[in-house]
């Protein structure tokens, strides 16, 4: 009787555990499909490189639920929320996901190290594994900082054209929001266009124009965008005409871009000095002196 009872209890336990696992798996897959349908972030995910694309299903399934229950979840959210907004990755990663990505790569990078070591049949020392694990933890921060810089650069490149289009549309008789809608429709896809789309959506769901502009300034985290938003908020609050203000802003942005280009050109000579001394000059000396040296040796 005891053996039969034990067998029945084991069967029930296995059944319950298996059923729970399959139920959780179905709920997770359903959540993933709903999220992808709402956010449409799969295409953007495919543009983020193989490391995130391969790692995301694993850390979202196994690490993010653990991070979401941590007591420091609020600090994690505050630390990475703005970075994700500035990089334009809020559709595919939450702050908890990003921290889970960092934790996952602590294990992921050493595993990749072992696979590459075995595949190449090398005898690399295992003492570098802690360094590889540390690199895995730091890599997402380096990666997202690069994404932010690239996105900010693209926003500044598209800013003069967008402001000119806004000024022309406003002077043609459209209000500011209708002018921004026209810019979004006509301009090619770019990060600034994405920010304008988010601003329009926020206004449509009930946010004031000033609040939506402040949110845009917070997300982009650029001095020029902050100045653009602050000027529009001030003009809107006093009821001033936006057309001339937009023209002045466009001229100011172009002037800043020209000054930055001149500054980059001035520093280019200094930056190329060290490569010339240590790489180009030795090669030139070898080419010039080698025939002379060979003549003396003969």
Look up the pTM and report it: 0.74
Q: What b/e string do you get for 138-157 counting C-beta neighbours within 10 Å, with b at 16 or more?
A: ebbeebbeebbeebbeebbe
Instruction: Share the mean pLDDT of the chain.
Output: 81
- Tell me the torsion sign for CA atoms 19, 21, 24, 28: negative
* Percentage of residues in the chain having pLDDT higher than 70: 85
pLDDT digits (tens, 9 = 90+) for 41-61: 567 777 788 888 888 888 998
* Backbone phi and psi for residue 226, each to the nearest 5 degrees, phi listed first: -60, -40
**Residue carrying the six token digits 């790692």:** 55
Task: Give the Cα separation of 223 and 99 in Å (integer).
Answer: 28
In 3D, which of 68, 69, 93 has the Cα closest to residue 83? 93
- Among 198, 193, 102, 126, smallest CA distance to 154 is for 193
Instruction: Identify the burial level of 185 via C-beta atoms within 10 angstroms of its C-beta, where 0-12 means exposed, 13-18 middle and 19 or more buried.
Output: exposed
Token pair for residue 38?
A: 């709402």
In the numeric block, which tokens belong to residue 91? 């559709």
More confident of the two residues 147 and 271: 147
User: What is the phi/psi pair of residue 252, to 5°?
Assistant: -65, -40
Question: Cα–Cα distance between 264 and 261 in angstroms, integer?
Answer: 5
Other C-beta atoms within 10 Å of 49: how many? 11
Q: Taking the mean position of all CA atoms in its chain, how far away is CA 108? A: 20
225/220 Cα distance (integer angstroms):
7
Which two three-digit tokens encode residue 228? 């653009």
For the chain, how big is the Rg over CA atoms in Å? 28
Look at the domain 153-258 and name its fold: Receptor-associated Protein (1.20.81)
| The pLDDT value given to residue 30 | 54
Q: What tens digit of pLDDT does each residue of 235-286 get? A: 888 777 787 888 888 788 778 777 777 777 777 767 777 777 777 778 888 8
Confidence category of residue 102, pLDDT binned at 50, 70, 90: very high
Output 61 or 12, whichever has higher pLDDT.
61
CB 215 within 8 A of CB 202: yes
Dig out the tokens for 77 from the structure.
Answer: 């959210």
Q: pLDDT, tens digit, for every residue of 109-130? A: 999 888 888 888 888 888 888 9
- Find all residues with CB under 8 Å of 196, minimum gap 6, and list them: 162, 180, 183, 184
Are the beta carbons of 159 and 253 closer than 8 angstroms?
yes
Q: Where are the domains of the chain?
A: 153-258
Confidence class of residue 147 from pLDDT cuts 50, 70 and 90?
very high
pLDDT band at 37 (very low <50, low <70, confident <90, very high): very low
Which is nearest to 165 in space by CA: 235, 228, 251, 246? 246
Instruction: Answer yes or no: is pLDDT of 3 > 60.
Output: no
pLDDT attached to residue 148: 94
């Amino acid at each position: 009787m005891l053996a039969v009872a034990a067998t029945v209890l084991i069967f029930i336990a296995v059944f319950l555990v298996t059923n729970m696992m399959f139920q959780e798996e179905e709920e997770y897959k359903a959540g993933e499909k709903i999220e992808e349908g709402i956010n449409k972030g799969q295409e953007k995910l495919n543009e983020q490189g193989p490391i995130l694309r391969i790692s995301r299903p694993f850390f979202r399934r196994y690490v993010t639920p653990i991070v979401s229950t941590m007591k420091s979840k609020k600090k994690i959210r505050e630390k990475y929320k703005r970075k994700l907004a500035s990089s334009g990755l809020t559709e595919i990663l939450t702050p908890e996901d990003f921290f889970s990505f960092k934790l996952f790569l602590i294990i992921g990078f050493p595993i990749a190290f072992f696979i590459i070591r075995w595949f190449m049949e090398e005898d690399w020392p295992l003492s570098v594994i802690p360094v590889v694990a540390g690199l895995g933890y730091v890599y997402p921060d380096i990666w997202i900082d690069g994404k932010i810089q690239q996105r900010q650069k693209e926003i500044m490149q598209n800013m003069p054209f967008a402001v000119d289009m806004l000024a022309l549309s406003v002077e043609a008789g459209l209000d500011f929001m209708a002018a921004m809608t026209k810019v979004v429709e006509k301009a090619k896809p770019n990060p600034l266009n994405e920010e304008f789309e988010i601003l329009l959506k926020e206004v449509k769901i009930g946010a004031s124009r000033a609040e939506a502009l402040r949110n845009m300034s917070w997300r982009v985290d650029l001095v020029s965008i902050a100045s653009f938003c602050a000027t529009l908020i001030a003009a809107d609050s006093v009821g001033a005409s936006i057309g001339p203000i937009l023209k002045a802003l466009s001229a100011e942005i172009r002037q800043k871009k020209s000054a930055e280009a001149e500054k980059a050109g001035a520093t280019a000579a200094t930056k190329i000095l060290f490569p010339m001394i240590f790489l180009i000059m030795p090669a030139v000396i070898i080419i010039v002196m080698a025939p002379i040296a060979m003549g003396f040796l003969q």
